[in-house]
């Protein structure tokens, strides 16, 4: 389900009411840092996966 433009406006208004204007920059900074950590972890997980698989034509060690 994709949100329409007016739905985003309603969500933004609710966020402004809950947290207020002065707290939003800190909230955005915290969210950005969390996303960076999440992407870094995903990237390190993806980098580790190919090492677990045997190379093409290579016989796996467990057989």
Judge whether residue 48 has pLDDT over 80: no
Question: Distance between CA atoms of 8 and 16, rounded to whole angstroms?
Answer: 12
| Residues 6-30, mean pLDDT to the nearest whole number | 87
* Residue extents of the structural domains in the chain: 21-46
Residue with the bigger pLDDT between 23 and 53: it is 23
Assess whether pLDDT exceeds 60 at residue 31. yes
Counting every residue, how long is the chain? Answer: 63
Q: Are 55 and 49 in contact (CB under 8 A)?
A: no
pLDDT at 44: 85
pLDDT class of 2 with cuts at 50, 70, 90:
confident
* Separation of first and last alpha carbons in the chain: 46
Q: Which residues contact 60 (CB under 8 A, 6 or more apart)?
A: 54
What pLDDT does 1 receive? Answer: 73
């Amino acid at each position: 389900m994709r949100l329409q433009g007016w739905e985003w406006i309603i969500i933004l208004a609710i966020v402004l009411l809950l947290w207020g204007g002065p707290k939003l920059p800190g909230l955005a900074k915290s969210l950005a840092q969390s996303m960076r950590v999440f992407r870094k972890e995903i990237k390190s997980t993806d980098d580790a996966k190919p090492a677990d698989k045997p190379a093409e034509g290579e016989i796996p060690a467990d057989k």
